[in-house]
Amino acid sequence: MSSATAYRRDIDGLRAFAILPVLAFHAKLPGFSGGFVGVDVFFVISGFLITAIIAREIDAGQFSLLRFYERRARRILPALLVMIAAVLVLAAWLYLPADFAAVPRSALMTLGFLANVWFFTQTGYFGGPADAMPLLHCWSLAVEEQFYVAFPAVLWLCAKFAPRQRLTIIAVLALASFALAVSKQADTDGFAFYLLPARAWELLAGSMLALLAQPQPDSRPLPQSLALVGLALIVWPVFAYGRTTVFPGVTALAPVLGTVMLIRFAPGTVVGRMLSLPLLVGVGLISYSLYLWHWPLIVFAEYVSNAPLVGARQAVVIAASFVLAWASWRYIERPFRNAQRFSRRRIFTLSAVGMGVIAATAVAVLPLGGWPARFPAQVTRMAEAVNDISPKRGACILDSAGGDRPDCVLGAATSPTAALWGDSHGVELAFALGEKLERSGGAIVQRTRASCPPVVGYTVASDPGCGQSNANTLQHLLASHNIKRVYLVAFWASPAYRQPGMIRMIDDTISRLQAAGKQVVLIGPVPRQPFDVPRHLAHATARGTLASARGTTLAKYRDETSWLTSQYPRWTSRNVAIIDPLAALGNGDHSRLSIGGKPAYFDSHHLSLTGARAVIASARID
């Protein structure tokens, strides 16, 4: 390795290729479905640059852990602390109680660089509750900082006891981490995505490159070609990957190897000159602040409008992200990196004070829960519908991480004569059916698995266990002679379920149940709304526009679900009973959002208990 690490404009340009796809993906710009791979590019760059500095200083006998963390503090903390403080203030102003409650906790975990662990326990990355988590993006900062807690010691120990095996040791660690990532890649619990052990190989890929001889500018054909291949390996996943891509693991190899190839071969090439263009370098310089600010802006903008970013709002939020990023870089990042303006003592003192004030504020707010006193009681009641769920939701629903669980029996303390088989849409309906059956001394068994419709033969890459779980459920039902009736429930309005062969698979499932003497009851599609219903109704209540709040049009509902509902006559002729949720949720040309003054949903498409009870009450089935 060279004795000095010279500034490379092309690496700042490469940072632009990391942040811009992430921004486009989060802003939901069409075509950038795999923009999340930009984070992997950042990891490799970070591993390369920081390892180069640490290794050079260790080799020269000049490494200081204190100086290392001083550099990290200057680089990371000032802009991060300002962003966290702004998020706490804005969330306290904008967020409804149920959404605000998690923000102080996530702020504390972010301060401790444990955000990845926190969000691993709370949510997935690609949707759902993540849309209301303004600090979710800090998971990647936590991964890096956890890595740099131990990695300097690893390099120091290698230099002291095995200097000639240093690269080999780092390579073995990288291979072990990659093997773990591959072994966990099919799990949807988030371990491979969020946690350091399965992500370390990406940083170590940059580290290994830094321990090799530094690249010299080379315009020969082979480096030109390899640089182009490296660029393609970064750009291709941005457009080819999506929310259903099994990631990370093997699929992360493309952006990681692409980044390694660009760092190694770009200098002196056409690609290197392109990466060194002033515009890309400028974006790269503000990339850290742009990463910090873009996600909270998107989250708050979508929260206030209660709708995904589209059109002009996308443009405004993206522009605002760049403005804030430039201001953050110019007035926060640059000054605090200047050792003449802020000495080591001062940077550590200010960092400690800033972290202490934010932590104290977050701790002070925690006992308030969601701080409902900020809103009128009627607004809070609407917002609290997010908790109007089955008390058995957590205990009874199956998932890809937990595997199959013992049967959940709802209703009276007796052997169940009915079963509800479905995805997460069936949870509240199962509880409502259990309440109804209990009144006559009956019971029902709940067999529900998230995002896994009750269709034998259905498979999905994001949950490889779905097919086997359905096969197990069918076998269980066929063997249970006391089960006389089976309810089939799913998020039928989901585009994911509208696929070739689905009707055939549903027919087969119905036939096999009927052949075993079971009465089949299909609960039809629930209208999905374009917004979070409790939040929408709470905001409408606060604005005095509740009377005009309307759900999705029935015309749109029919367009989304006719592939299934058009089969009703044929199924009823085969003695399949149909429960149509529109009997309770239809309202003229639109779907209902509330029943009896309470939200009918606890999010945008799952029925609340209020909604589920209304659907079951409207059913003409004993």
Q: How much is the average pLDDT of 348-371?
A: 95
2 domain-assigned? no
In this structure, the strands spanning 519-523 and 485-489 are parallel
Q: Which of 241-250, 337-346, 393-402, 572-581 has the lowest mean pLDDT?
A: 393-402
323 domain-assigned? yes
246 domain-assigned? yes
Which 8-state DSSP code applies to residue 189? S
CA atoms within 13 A on the CB side of 102: 16
Helix (H) or strand (E) holding 443: strand 443-448
What pLDDT score was predicted for residue 401? 47
In this structure, the strands spanning 586-587 and 577-579 are unpaired
What percent of the chain stands above pLDDT 90?
83
Angle in degrees, 0-180, between the axes of helices 102-111 and 115-122, rounded to the nearest 10 = 150
Going by pLDDT thresholds of 50, 70 and 90, the confidence category of residue 217 is confident
1 domain-assigned? no
Q: How much is the average pLDDT of 311-326?
A: 96
Is residue 126 pLDDT above 90, yes or no? no
What pLDDT score was predicted for residue 459? 87
Boundary residue ending a domain (318, 352, 372): 372
Which 8-state DSSP code applies to residue 190? S
Going by pLDDT thresholds of 50, 70 and 90, the confidence category of residue 123 is low
Going by pLDDT thresholds of 50, 70 and 90, the confidence category of residue 124 is low
pLDDT in tens, 131-153: 789 999 999 999 999 999 999 99
Distance CA 519, CA 382 (A): 38
Going by pLDDT thresholds of 50, 70 and 90, the confidence category of residue 374 is very high
377 domain-assigned? no
Q: Please indicate, yes or no, whether residues 558 and 533 belong to a single structural domain of this protein.
A: yes
Q: Please indicate, yes or no, whether residues 219 and 250 belong to a single structural domain of this protein.
A: yes
* DSSP string for residues in 388-442: -S-TTHHHH-BBTTTB----EEEESSS--SEEEEESTTHHHHHHHHHHHHHTTT-
Q: How much is the average pLDDT of 437-441?
A: 94
Residue bearing the bigger pLDDT, 189 or 58: 58
Q: Please indicate, yes or no, whether residues 164 and 214 belong to a single structural domain of this protein.
A: yes
132 domain-assigned? yes
Is residue 311 pLDDT above 70, yes or no? yes
Q: Please indicate, yes or no, whether residues 446 and 335 belong to a single structural domain of this protein.
A: no
In this structure, the strands spanning 590-591 and 594-595 are unpaired
Nearest one of 400, 399, 428 to 614, comparing CA atoms: 428
Q: How much is the average pLDDT of 310-323?
A: 96
Is residue 622 pLDDT above 70, yes or no? no
Q: How much is the average pLDDT of 608-617?
A: 97
What pLDDT score was predicted for residue 405? 59
Is residue 403 pLDDT above 90, yes or no? no
Q: Please indicate, yes or no, whether residues 325 and 294 belong to a single structural domain of this protein.
A: yes
Distance CA 141, CA 146 (A): 9
Q: Please indicate, yes or no, whether residues 327 and 397 belong to a single structural domain of this protein.
A: no
pLDDT in tens, 171-206: 999 999 999 999 998 877 789 999 999 999 999 999
In this structure, the strands spanning 485-489 and 577-579 are unpaired
Boundary residue ending a domain (318, 353, 372): 372
Q: Please indicate, yes or no, whether residues 343 and 253 belong to a single structural domain of this protein.
A: yes
Which 8-state DSSP code applies to residue 579? E
Q: Please indicate, yes or no, whether residues 368 and 387 belong to a single structural domain of this protein.
A: no
Q: Please indicate, yes or no, whether residues 297 and 402 belong to a single structural domain of this protein.
A: no
3 domain-assigned? no
Distance CA 263, CA 206 (A): 9
Is residue 513 pLDDT above 80, yes or no? yes
Distance CA 300, CA 132 (A): 8
Q: Please indicate, yes or no, whether residues 368 and 449 belong to a single structural domain of this protein.
A: no
What pLDDT score was predicted for residue 1? 45
Q: Decide: 238 and 225 in contact? Cβ < 8 Å.
A: no
At a CB cut-off of 8 Å and minimum separation 6, what does 327 contact? none
Q: Please indicate, yes or no, whether residues 367 and 253 belong to a single structural domain of this protein.
A: yes
Local structure of 619: helix, strand or coil: coil
Boundary residue ending a domain (348, 372, 396): 372
Distance CA 122, CA 383 (A): 20
Distance CA 399, CA 394 (A): 10
The total domain count for the chain is 2
Q: Please indicate, yes or no, whether residues 394 and 309 belong to a single structural domain of this protein.
A: no
Q: Decide: 327 and 290 in contact? Cβ < 8 Å.
A: no
CA atoms within 13 A on the CB side of 325: 26
Q: What is the mean pLDDT of the chain?
A: 92
Phi then psi for residue 422, to 5 deg, are -175, -170
Helices (H) and strands (E) in the chain, counts: 28, 10
Is residue 407 pLDDT above 80, yes or no? no
Distance CA 524, CA 513 (A): 18
For the domain that residue 434 is a member of, what is the CATH number? 3.40.50.1110
Beta bridge partners of residue 97, listed in sequence order = none
305 domain-assigned? yes
Category of 597 on φ-ψ map: left (φ > 0), alpha (ψ -120 to 50) or beta: left
What pLDDT score was predicted for residue 3? 38
Range of the domain at 354: 9-372
